[in-house]
Amino acid sequence: MKKILCMLVFILLSLTAFSGFLDRIKSEIKWKEEEKPIFENVTVYSGKNVVQEKILPGSYEVYLFELNYPNDIYGKIKFIKEFSEFLENVESNNNKKYSILLTQAFYNDILEMRSRDLMQSEYLLKVPASSLNYQQIERLNELTKEIKVKEYKDTDQEKLNRQIYVLYKILEKKGFIESNVYTELDKENLIEEINAGRQKLINRYRNTSVDYYLKEDYSNIDLKDFSDEAKYKFEKDIILSTNIEDQALFPDIHLNIYIANFDPKIIEELAKKQIKLKRRILILDNDLYHGYTYNEENTVVFVNGKSPLYYFPDYKIDVKVVRTDVNKLKNYDSKYKIGDFFY
C-alpha cells in the first residue's frame, strides 16, 4: 500500500512539474508574440537641420570604423593629431555619426595620455640620458639618424640632445640646435608641454558623441573560466573572461566589446538561446550570422556571418566593419551610429 501511495505521489508531482514546464513554454511563446520592437526615435542631420527620425521596419546598415593604427612613434604622433582634428570636426559640425573600433594598442595609449604620461613607445624619451640601456640607445639613434651631434659624440649629452630632438619633432617645434647643452630640466618641460597639449585630445575623446568599442581577439581571451562548470545554460550567466567582464574600461566612457574570430559552437548555442553572454553590448565577429539578438538585458550583434539573424525580423539591422585611415572618415556618409539602435 505504501509503495502504491508513493508511486501516486511521484506521478502527481511529475505531472505538476510537466504542467508547469508547459505553462512556462506557452508563456514564453505568448511573450515573444506580444513583444514589441524597442527601437526609439533617433536624431539625424539633414543639412543644417536636426530632425527626429522614427525607426520603421526595413533594412539598416551601420558602419563600425576600425582605424589603421601605426606602430612607430612618428606614425602615432601623426595619427593622434589627425584623430584629434577629426573629433574636433565632429564636435563642431555634428552632421555625421560615428562608431569607432579601438585596437588594444590605441586604447592603451589613450590610457597613458589620460594619466598625463607619454605613450609606452615614447618611454625612452623620459629615461635619464645616463640611464638609457643599449636597446634604447639604438632605438634613439634610429629615431634621430638625420642629426649628428658631433660635439658630444658618445657622451650622455649626445643621448640627451637626441631625446630633445625627438621631443621637438613631436611638438612640431622649431629651433633645435645640435650643439646646445640641453638639460634634463629642458626635457621635463618639453614632456610636460606634450602631456598638456594631449589633454585636448582626451577631452574631445571623452566628450564627443562618438561610440567606442574595444577590439579583442577570441584567441587572446583567457578561457580557463570557460569550462563546462562555468558555462551555465538557459537562465544563468556565461562568463567569457575576467577581461571581458571589466565594464569600466574607461571611467567616463562606457566601452563595449568587439570579439574577433568568435567560437562558432558558442555562436550556435547563443543563436538558439541556450546560453547567455554577460555583457551590455557585445559585437561578435563570426562566419555564421549577421544581425542581432537580445540576451535578457544584453544585446549581441553578429558581424561578417553568412546567414541573417534578426531578433525582430522586420527590422534588419546590420553592422558593417570598415577598415580605414582616420583622415578618410569624413568621406563616409555615416547617418547612424550603433548606439542609435542598441543601447
- What are 118-127's pLDDT values in tens digits? 999 999 999 9
Q: What is the predicted pLDDT for the residue at 168?
A: 98
Cell triple for 277 = 553572454
Please return the burial class of 193, using the count of CB atoms within 10 Å of its CB with bins 0-12, 13-18 and 19+.
Answer: middle
Task: Categorise residue 47: left if φ over 0, alpha if ψ from -120 to 50, beta otherwise.
Answer: left
Contact 73, 166 (CB under 8 A): yes
Reported residue count of the chain is 343
Widest CA span in the chain: 110
Please return the burial class of 34, using the count of CB atoms within 10 Å of its CB with bins 0-12, 13-18 and 19+.
Answer: exposed
Distance CA 2, CA 8 (A): 10
Q: What is the predicted pLDDT for the residue at 6?
A: 53
Contact 290, 318 (CB under 8 A): yes
CA 35 and chain centroid, separation: 31
SS3 at position 43:
strand
Q: How far is CA 31 from CA 26, 28, 166, 281, 309, in A?
A: 8, 5, 63, 23, 19
Calculate the dihedral angle through the C-alpha atoms of 177, 178, 180, 185, rounding to the nearest 10 degrees: 90
Contact 76, 196 (CB under 8 A): no
Q: What is the predicted pLDDT for the residue at 290?
A: 97
Residues 6+ apart with CB under 8 A from 252: 206
Q: pTM, whole model, 2 decimals?
A: 0.79
Distance CA 124, CA 51 (A): 50
Q: What is the predicted pLDDT for the residue at 47?
A: 67
Distance CA 212, CA 250 (A): 10
Residues 6+ apart with CB under 8 A from 101: 64, 65, 66, 67, 213, 214, 215, 258, 321
Contact 307, 50 (CB under 8 A): no
Cell triple for 123 = 618611454
Q: What is the predicted pLDDT for the residue at 224?
A: 40
pLDDT per residue, tens digit, the chain (343 aa), is 555 555 554 555 555 554 554 444 444 444 444 578 878 888 887 667 788 889 999 999 999 999 999 999 999 999 999 999 999 988 887 778 999 999 999 999 999 999 888 999 999 999 999 999 999 999 999 999 999 999 999 999 999 999 999 999 999 999 999 999 999 999 999 999 999 999 999 999 999 989 999 998 888 765 444 434 333 333 333 334 334 333 322 233 357 889 898 888 888 888 887 776 666 688 999 999 999 998 766 789 999 999 999 999 999 999 999 999 999 998 898 889 999 999 7
Q: What is the predicted pLDDT for the residue at 27?
A: 42
Cell triple for 50 = 536636426
Q: What is the predicted pLDDT for the residue at 91?
A: 84
Q: In what order do the strands lie in the sheet with 281-285?
A: 307-310, 289-295, 298-303, 281-285, 256-260, 211-217, 99-102, 58-67, 315-324
pLDDT digits 0-9 by tens, 317-326: 999 999 999 9
Cell triple for 313 = 525580423
Cell triple for 312 = 525582430
Contact 202, 194 (CB under 8 A): no
Nearest one of 315, 313, 257, 311 to 101, comparing CA atoms: 257
Nearest one of 99, 75, 32 to 329, comparing CA atoms: 99
Domain ranges across the chain = 58-68+210-340, 107-207
Q: What is the predicted pLDDT for the residue at 229?
A: 37
Q: How far is CA 121 from CA 66, 74, 84, 117, 195, in A?
A: 21, 10, 19, 11, 14
Q: What is the predicted pLDDT for the residue at 288?
A: 95
